[in-house]
Chain A
Amino acid sequence: MPKAVIKGAGYALIHANDMVVTHGTTLTAEAAKNPDSQLFSDVAANLQSYEETVAYPPNQCYIGNVTPEELNNLPKPWYENGLENACRQGKMGEVMPLDEFIGIMKICDSFDLVMIEKDFVEHTKKALEAHGMFSAEEIATIGNGHDLEKIEPRVAEHKADPIMFDGKLVGCVKQAHDSDPNLNSHIMFENMVAKASGVVALKNLLIKNDIDPESIDYIIETSEEACGDMNQRGGGNFAKAIGEVAGLKNATGSDTRAFCAAPVHGLVNATALVSSGIFKNVVVVAGGATAKLGMNSKDHLKKGVPVLENAIGAFAILVSKDDGVSPFVRTDAIGRHRIGSGSSPQAVTSAIITDPLDKINLKITDIDKYSVEMQNPEITKPAGAGDVPEANYKMIAALGVKRGDIDRKELLNFVKQHGMTGWALTQGHIPSGVPYVGFAREALMNGEIKRAMIVGKGSLFLARMTNLFDGVSFILEQNTGIVEESSFSKDEVRSLIAESMRKLGESLVEDKE
């Protein structure tokens, strides 16, 4: 079977302080209970500025400017040790300011649902022109904007959700229907942000890897939002909506949902589409979630930590047919948490880590780096959730001890050598395995490592449809450079030759007789 390779990865963070207050569920839930709560001013006073967000070391890691190894050696707490001369543009992505992003929300607005105030339109257009991601024609679609007097009453009457910038109303996202709850302004706002942030990540992937948008055949979108109306709440489809804005004219696509595990499911599906020969280039993309902004803000404030969940995360990864150099996905060792696997951490870890290793006779130590749930510990520790990647590595190591792959006293060494510190925002699907794919590609191509395992896990029970947990994984391996173009596998060729030899042998015997 031809190989499917990771051809490139793009990552984006959108600085979204105003959306923490207007659309993060921790804050909106508080607003519903206690509209005059002190929490709003406390959160607003403890958010990192755009410059601080750019300089925050884990964010620099997310966009590819600081490697996970370098991040681990930087002084902590990272939020008090921002990097000097940090750049918004990274090797693999960027940290975008909100004023530019609001303009992109309008560029993404197919149904005239986004209204932006006139003066702000001028501002955002100039910022986008300077940025260079969109053409003059695309920027022109933002239009001339609206008077604030037209926007304010819609927000006041709850027929639109506010778009704020620096605490001021600069626009709104309107409801798309009078009575359909799935098209109300809140959901339209969330979906518009998911779509637009997906576009920013996808554009970063295309531009920074010099990929022709028209070469993409298929898009798999793997965020945690749902778009549809009251007759089909999750009808879809973000994939084509994002691809349309990014100019992927030759692609179709669909949405894959599996909570935080969806990106890895998406990559496994993309691998199957490519290695089967159905498509040559498949993009897996996801925008971010406004709901999770400031999710742990109450705990952060209590512990004197800035409200670090102040950006929307997004990513895009291209899976392509074998180019002979990019790392490839081992299709013979896909890990999956089966319905019958059981939901204890041990059962889950066995199903997604050791079962696939057993299939190809590898030990736990044969994987150089594991990319698990890569949440930034500075966000999760003050919230009582501990160091999530470290906990994952300890579980893998413990399983290694049980299997006899490593000695018990080597447990912590294994964590150090095969693990990484976390750097991703707590945006659910964003930290789940995929943040390392870009780094893994580089490390595999320059020979630093031989194999990496990308792991996605998802808490399906949150939807109340099943108590099951979920997880999938795949192994990325250095490319041998031998491109298998044929649709025959080596085994098939071998058996064909063997069959011919056998027939030849039989005919020789017959001739002799």
Chain B
Amino acid sequence: MDLENQARINALVEEHGAENIVVLLGGAEAEASGLAAETVTVGDPTFAGPLAGVELGLAVYHIFELKDYVDETVWDEQISMMEMVLDVDEIVEEVKSFRDQGSKYNK
């Protein structure tokens, strides 16, 4: 995950508390989405950014997991095209596995 985004997430957690934060991913690919989920749960696996060794344990979901929570028209306008193109199952499975392992809140 981008180092600057790691710093921003860290700052938001300090301000609002980890239990009040949900990270919503929009990654187009399973590996990258998984890396992001890993970073905000058990820490930056590349040990390059501010979240290296920091176990935030945040709740993390991919937008594809939250279809039921999104207005149908908005989903159709903004996401349905990518839903047709991407490997939704693979992405969801990858993010879920990191959430199951590392999320402490809002699972």
Contact = CB atoms under 8 A, between A and B. Distances in A.
Interface of A: 342, 344-347, 349, 384, 386, 391, 394-395, 397-399, 401-402, 408, 411
Mostly helix, strand, loop or mixed at chain A's interface? helix
Contacts of B81: 345-346, 349, 395, 398-399, 402
A344 B84 CA distance: 14
A349 B28 CA distance: 15
Contacts, number: 39
A394 B31 contact: no
A391 B84 CA distance: 11
A346 B29 contact: no
A346 B80 contact: yes
A425 B82 CA distance: 26
B77 A346 contact: yes
Contact of B79 (A344, A391, A397, A411): A344
B51 to A, nearest CB: 18
A487 B76 CA distance: 44
A399 B78 CA distance: 11
A347 B85 contact: no
B31 A346 contact: no
Given A346-B80, A349-B81, A398-B82, 20 more contacts: A344-B78, A344-B79, A345-B28, A345-B82, A346-B78, A346-B82, A347-B77, A384-B29, A384-B31, A386-B29, A391-B28, A391-B85, A395-B82, A397-B85, A398-B81, A398-B84, A399-B81, A401-B84, A402-B81, A408-B84
Interface string B57-88: 00000000000000000000111111011000
Contacts of A346: 77-82
B80 A347 contact: no
Contacts of B31: 384
Contacts of A397: 85
A395 B85 contact: yes
Contacts of B79: 344, 346
20 contacts: A344-B79, A346-B79, A346-B80, A346-B81, A346-B82, A347-B77, A347-B78, A384-B31, A386-B28, A391-B85, A395-B81, A395-B82, A395-B85, A397-B85, A398-B84, A398-B85, A399-B81, A402-B80, A402-B84, A411-B84
